[in-house]
Every structure is written in C-alpha cells, then in structure tokens.
Amino acid sequence: MKNILSPILAIVLFLSIQPFTLAAEETPEIPYFGIGATVQEKMEGEYLVQTEGAKEQEGFVYTPQEAFKSENIKMQITLMGKGRVILKLEETNARGQYIKEKTMEVELTEDWTAYEMTFTLESPSSQIDASVITKSKESADFTFKNLQIIEE
C-alpha cells in the first residue's frame, strides 16, 4: 500500500502546484514597488500608478540595483497626471540606516513633463530609494516613464 501512495501523492502535489507556477510566469515583474498604490505597465516603459488615498505619501519606490562609482547622481523622470506629487531621493547605508533625503514638489500636468533632481551621496556604496509620492491624503492617478538614476 505504501508503494502505491507515494507516486499518487507526488502526482497530486505536482498537479496542485503547477497552475500557480504557470500563473507566476505569465505576470512580468516590474522594478517599481507600490506604496499604498498599484503600479501597472500600460505599455512598454510606461507605468500607471493608482493610489488608494488612505494616507499621505502614497505612490511608488524604485531602488537601483547597480552600485554607484561617484557621489553625484541625478534622478530623471517624465510624469503626467493631475495634482501635486513629491519626488524623493532617500539615501541609506548598507545596513539600511537612514542617512539623508532630498525632495522636490511638482504640479502634474495633462502633458508629459520631464523632471530632474540632483543629489550628492555621502558614499558611493550607499543605497538610494527613488520615490514619487502624493502630497496629500487623497486618491491619485498618474503615469510615468523614463525613470533613471544616473551618475553625473
């Protein structure tokens, strides 16, 4: 009886896991993490952010994976939408401890508008989180593209 149950359990386990792994493969992973918001790719390289409006500072965050070689960096992004948002760069050390941040408030428009914000790191080994977040506690929809963190 033991010899029959093992193959049957293996088949049942395989069949129950397979739909979940297939579903995970169909959903492409995007490098932007929603903060009280959903982030969806509308078309290649263009993303829609829809905030819940439950609190201030909802939007998305992006953390570049590559290390920096210099202390001077620049955030570039193109935005479109309605309302006011805050562009934010936050520096942390290798242990995740806060070092400093810089913010810039912008008024969104119905046309694509490019924004830049420069930042001087305390150390090239620091981690940077780049965010676009809401200023007030209200739901907002905005679209972005061309987000880059480049060295100057």
Average pLDDT by stretches of 10, the chain with 152 residues = 54 52 58 96 95 95 92 97 96 94 97 98 94 93 96 90
Per-residue pLDDT at 42: 93
Q: Which H or E run contains 6?
A: helix 2-26
Domains located in the chain, CATH noted: 30-151 (2.60.120.260)
| Two tokens, residue 41 | 């790719």
End-to-end CA distance of the chain: 70
Distance in angstroms (rounded) separating the CA atoms of residues 77 and 81: 13
How high is the pLDDT of residue 21?
47
Identify the pLDDT of residue 24. 47
pLDDT (0 to 100) of residue 16: 56
